[in-house]
Structure 1
Amino acid sequence: MSNGTLLRRLALASLIANIGLVVTGAAVRLTSSGLGCPTWPKCTEESYTTTAEMGVHGVIEFGNRVLGIVLGLIALACFIAALLRKPRRRSLVLLALAAGLGIPGQGVIGGITVLTDLNPWVVGLHFLLSMALIAVTYALWKRTTEGDRPRRTLVPTPLPTLARLTALVSGAVIVLGVVVTGSGPHAGDEDAKRNGLDPATISQAHADLVFLLIGLSLGLWFALRAVKAPAPAIRAAGLLVLVELAQGLIGFVQYFTHLPVILVGAHMLGACLVWVATLSMLWSLRERPVHQSPQNAPPAPVSIPAPVA
């Protein structure tokens, strides 16, 4: 296996693991296991691992910490693979480094979360850093098959602007969703404080942004079809719309069924999938051609002179 192939697989593993960390983090919060390990970096005053006396809550919280360690090892492997890749590409090394540095950052924020008794704003920051790391690892994964030549836009000029606006609103929906979460139940512990905002009001604002996001995404899909954009771009925009609709349906049902745990967990996974679909849409509108060295370039066609009559 070449170093380039290894790096691509490790980058994909890092992306999946970052999404998995969000899911396990949701399990911690939704099972009231946020203080299953009541201190940090140790799980108890005497032990770095959970104990039998801490029960299932300790196991769930400690399991999330272990996944963080696994994620750090994958990130380290990505960085080493980027350094060893021939030829070495500075962009890949920097992306792998950024993904790696985010892991201890997650650990520190997770520790502050525990030490502040699950302050909802710190919990929200923990989630948003995961979204940033998903973006970085997605970029690393995609860049492993691209060159370092300047980007080339594949669609007319107004459409990338519309795509960037759609991505901005997608990010805003995620941020406001974090605020909604901080105002409702499922705090991670029965005694954890909430952010004090009115859940109904902030949920309505979140829903309004979701409607805007779906409208922009539909508009982008129709516009790409109208200008006969490349098929991958049209598919990526269509997939974004479908993922948004599914996520919106989950959000609608969970709100009117008083936030059952299973649907809240699905909604958090859905937030990751919406974000990945947004990134996929952005990537589908441009390309970075891979540089071909003269010795690897295809041979020039040979012209055969026409016979002389």
Structure 2
Amino acid sequence: MPEVSNRTLLRPLALASLTANIALVVTGAAVRLTGSGLGCPTWPRCTEESYTTTPEMGINGVIEFGNRVLGIVLGLIALACFVAALLERPRRTSLVVLALVAGLGIPGQGVIGGITVLTDLNPWVVGLHFLLSMALIAVTYALWKRTFEGDRPRRSLVPAPLPALARLTAVVSAAVLVLGVVVTGSGPHAGDENAKRNGLDPEAISQAHADAVFLLIGLSVALWFALRAVRAPGAAIRAAGLLVVVELAQGLIGFVQYFTHLPVLLVGAHMLGACLVWVATLNVLWRLRERPFHEPPAAPLPAEHPTTAPAPAPVA
């Protein structure tokens, strides 16, 4: 099949890029939760004299510097993805574009990270740092999934109303992430004891966040039932069911951390859970459509009936 190129290199690199972007969120949470946000008090250097941490900076310097190093590793993986996409034969424009966007997001993260340090951990800038990570997770997930697909036009696997319901669920999932960022900016874990908060009422913002979570779970359950009702492909039904399970687990962590006054380990688990909810949401969208490598074969034409009468039998 000439249209199916060898993706043994790009596919694992794309998965590594997706995984590293999730890991960057988790290590970024560790920076904030351990009060290491200014462990390296300058940028791009760690100190005025050194690009690396020093023994005098202690564990906070190590944690912050480790997060910066992971960002560099992520950039190298993104560069490798872009080169692998260029080397594909035949080259696929969609893969090259996705790899390029994922790569350009890395220096963007570095710039926002630098602004975060230079503004003494402004909560709105910190939130933007997180949301860019969510965008990069979406791009790298798309890059990874596209290595399993062809370039034929996208084809829906379910009736028309269901993709619309899935897109609405994704929009609400994104809104939950945004509200979670606002909640974080109003809470106690600022990344440094002297960092300012956004000044909003934590209880009111947390209630709005919880309301959005209930809406998201309701939409996800409705989507699961609807997919079962129309006998959608099993992969799509399982993806919707997995989304509901991940959301319920994330919601449980969220409620426990709120009523136990935000212990560090639970907040870190909630940050990881936010990434998993987002990936599960993207997985549902992907399972409702396909891009085949080839058009399905056309149905065979019916055999033509003979138009002439059979020859008469010979006379004895």
Scaled to the shorter chain, the TM-score interval is over 0.9
In structure 2, do the counterparts of structure 1 residues 257 and 280 end up closer, same or farther at CA, with 3 Å as the change threshold?
A: same
Q: Distance in 2 between matches of 1:247 and 1:231?
A: 24
Are the aligned partners of 2:131 and 2:178 in contact in 1 as well (CA < 8 Å)? Answer: yes
Tell me the distance in 2 between the aligned counterparts of 1:62 and 1:3.
37
Which of the residues 165, 168, 181 maps onto 2:168?
165
2:286 to 252, 258, 283: 283
Matched, 1:254 2:257: yes
Alpha-carbon offset, residue 291 of structure 1: 2.6
Q: How does 1:68-217 map to 2 (within 5 A)?
A: 68-217=71-220
| Whole-Å separation in 1 of the counterparts to 2:41 and 2:144 | 36
| Aligned pairs, number | 297
Q: Counterpart in 2 of 1:307? A: none
Partner of 1:306: none
Partner Cα distance (2:177, 2:266) in 1: 17
Q: 2:221 aligns with which of 199, 218, 225?
A: 218
* 5+ residue gaps, structure 2: 304-316
| Unmatched runs of 5 consecutive residues or more in structure 1 | 304-309
Of 4, 9, 21, which aligns to 1:6?
Answer: 9
Show CA shifts across 1:211-259 (max 9, x none).
Answer: 0000000000000000000000000000000000000000000000000
Aligned-partner Cα distance in 2 for 1:87–1:54: 51
User: Which amino acid in 2 is paired with 1:130?
Assistant: S
Matched, 1:50 2:59: no
User: Which has the greater radius of gyration?
Assistant: 2
- Aligned partners of 1:214 and 1:245 also within 8 Å: yes
| 8 Å CA contact 1:3, 1:84 repeated in 2 | no
**Aligned-pair distance for 1:69?**
0.2
- In the alignment, the residues of structure 2 paired with residue 271 and residue 290 of structure 1 have an alpha-carbon distance, to the nearest angstrom, of 33
Q: Give the alignment's Cα RMSD to 1 decimal.
A: 1.6
CA distance, structure 2, for counterparts of residue 9 and residue 122 of structure 1: 32
Under a length normalisation based on structure 1, what TM-score does the superposition of the two structures give?
Answer: 0.94
Using the TM superposition, give the Cα deviation of residue 292 of structure 1 relative to its aligned residue in structure 2, in angstroms.
7.2
Confirm or deny: 8 A CA contact 2:152 2:295 kept in the other structure.
no
Quote the Cα distance in structure 2 between the aligned partners of 1:141 and 1:292: 22
> Normalising by structure 2, what TM-score?
0.92
**Do the aligned partners of 1:3 and 1:81 also contact (CA within 8 Å) in 2?**
no
Does the residue aligned with 2:113 lie in a helix, a strand or coil? helix
Residue of structure 2 equivalent to 1:64: 67
> Secondary structure at the residue paired with 1:39?
coil
Q: Sequence identity, in percent?
A: 86
